[in-house]
Amino acid sequence: MFNRHNWLGIQRQTVSHTEKLLATLGGTISIALVYGLSAALLDGAAAQLLLASMGASAVLLFAVPHGPLSQPWPLLGGHLVGASIGVSCALLPLPLALNAALAVGMTIGMMHLLRCTHPPGGATALTAVIGGAAVHELGFQFVIAPVALNALALLTVAVAFNYPLRTRRYPAALAIAAEAQRTAAAPATPPPIEHAHLVAALSEIDSYLDISEHDLLRIYQLATQFADAEMVEHPPIQVGSCYSNGRFGGEWEVREVRALPTTPRARVEFAIVAGARRRQCGSCSLSTFQRWAAHEVSRDENSWRPVAHSAVEMPPMSD
């Protein structure tokens, strides 16, 4: 069935008028500060071009403060990568149109590689190419002043402006930590989530999230499928295999088994290969390790994924 809201991308997420007002004030204050910096370092035309990309960043930081594209590393990395590549492309003896295209395309690719995707960074790269003599005369100084200074100014305002508000704390890690302290432990077997529950939860958060309701439900369904599959049995413990405890945040950890006990009093030797204690080693009894290991995992590019197997688990040994 045709639904114009779906085809046009109109989201059903709603936020309070207070949230909308705060986003408006934050964007106003940040751009006022950035405009002053840009006007002091560039002539009028060049400053206006650069302000376009900073204005786009302000929308992300204050309207979508918890979005992945709005976080400090994407903000700083995206603009600095874009400025550096843009200045480099501007030096090439090629037609302006080709230089501009190369600058934006290479910026997109590099932001992906460095995990700092920030759409306004593409506009910064474009400004470095088409900004005219005022920008070209700065050379690579353009990367530091005004780009880095403006990005830092935006970041400073975003942190200071949002910090007093629990639901808007920026970066997103601060909001997550505050919410974790407030929320009680979830039940062992959560009830199924329906559309009405999701709408109510989004209203409670009262902050625009850069993800659709459909994607949220899809993620929940997939996570539930993985969880159901893992509850069937504990993974077999084998030398050379990696195991995760299946937790979140700072408690998440991946251990690689280096040696298994050959006698009841021997211990499992392991190395921590991912998590807060990465590169540390440890040991414990086999039964303790089996209780800790939620599932076996393997490295897949930039993430750890559960391993499906049908092997028989080793019988636990007594502590």
Q: pLDDT tens digits for 119-162? A: 999 999 999 999 888 889 889 999 998 899 899 999 999 999 98
**What local confidence, expressed as pLDDT, does residue 124 receive?**
95
Residues 19 and 154 in one domain: yes
Q: Indicate whether 19 and 159 sit together in one domain.
A: yes
Gap between the Cα atoms of 165 and 162, Å rounded: 6
Residue with tokens 């499992």: 268
User: In the predicted model, what is the mean pLDDT of residues 247-272?
Assistant: 88
The Cα 147–Cα 81 span in angstroms is 10
> Average pLDDT of 189-204?
63
CA dist 297 and 303 (Å) reads: 10
Q: Are residues 119 and 241 in the same domain?
A: no
**Of 57, 28, 36, which Cα lies nearest the Cα of 146?**
36
- Residue 32 covered by a domain: yes
- Same domain for 21 and 165, yes or no, is yes
Confidence class for position 311, pLDDT limits 50, 70, 90: very low
Question: 203-259 pLDDT, tens per residue?
Answer: 666 666 666 666 666 677 677 666 665 555 677 899 999 999 888 777 889 999 999
| Domain assignment present for 196 | no
Task: Give, rounded to a whole angstrom, the gap between the first and last alpha carbons of the chain.
Answer: 61
For residue 207, being part of any structural domain is answered with: no
- In a shared domain, residues 19 and 143: yes
Is the model's pLDDT at 194 over the cut of 80?
no
Asked if residue 75 belongs to a domain, the reply is yes
Helix, strand, or coil here: 46? helix
Indicate if 34 and 113 belong to the same structural domain. Answer: yes
Domain total in the chain: 2
Q: Do 165 and 98 lie in a common domain? A: yes
Residue 6 forms part of a structural domain = no
Q: 21 and 157: one domain?
A: yes
Q: What is the mean pLDDT of residues 36-50?
A: 72
Q: State the pLDDT at residue 206.
A: 64
Q: What is the pLDDT of residue 196?
A: 65
**In-domain check, residue 220:** no
- Domain housing 250: 225-319
Residues 230 and 152 in one domain: no
Do 169 and 301 lie in a common domain?
no
Strand-pairing partners, residue 271, are: 256, 281
Q: 42 and 138 in one domain?
A: yes
